[in-house]
Amino acid sequence: MIQLHDLQFEPYISEEEIEGAVEKISARLNADYKDQNPIFIGVLNGSFMFASEVIKRFKGDCEVSFVKMGSYEGTSTTGTVKTLVGLNQKVEGRKVVILEDIVDTGNTLEEINKILEAENVADYKVATLFFKPEAYKKSLSIAYIGIEIPDKFIVGYGLDYDGLGRNLTQVYKRKE
């Protein structure tokens, strides 16, 4: 059990399970983007650990960029996604892989979709470490899913609760 601010969290997904999910996604990306030069775009802050592990495992040439989006306050989504740091490189005509820590409502993906359509990318796919199918309300395709989880609030491996918990190497869920 761990305490972050005013909430308690209990162990939920082990380092080994996370490692297996990262390996599975990475193997598929290596197969799908063999002999290509994709741009990996990590969605900060949460995806930094996942993005690092996927990019380290990519066997070909690639480029890396990040965007920073914000939609959470405490344990709840605000429903509004703000672009805090936008794209800083040309992606027109390029193949892009979005690296997300978690997809729940899909609001962030919808905002990223608007940005990438405006930038005229050739193609983009989404890779997410965690996916909450119960919470997902959008129709955008998610090509690579590491672990499907119920609609529970989690922290660790890049995910936080009001800034804390990102450095944890396993994932914890909120104690009910």
Catalytic (active-site) positions: 104
Tokens of 69: 């989006």
Give the closest residue to 78 by CA, choosing from 70, 66, 86: 70
Q: How far apart are CA 40 and CA 84, in angstroms?
A: 18
Cα-to-chain-centroid distance, residue 81: 15
Other beta carbons less than 10 A from residue 63's beta carbon: 14
Q: What 8-state DSSP symbol labels residue 159?
A: B
Beta strands in the chain (DSSP E): 2-4, 7-13, 39-44, 63-73, 76-85, 95-103, 123-131, 144-148, 154-155, 171-174
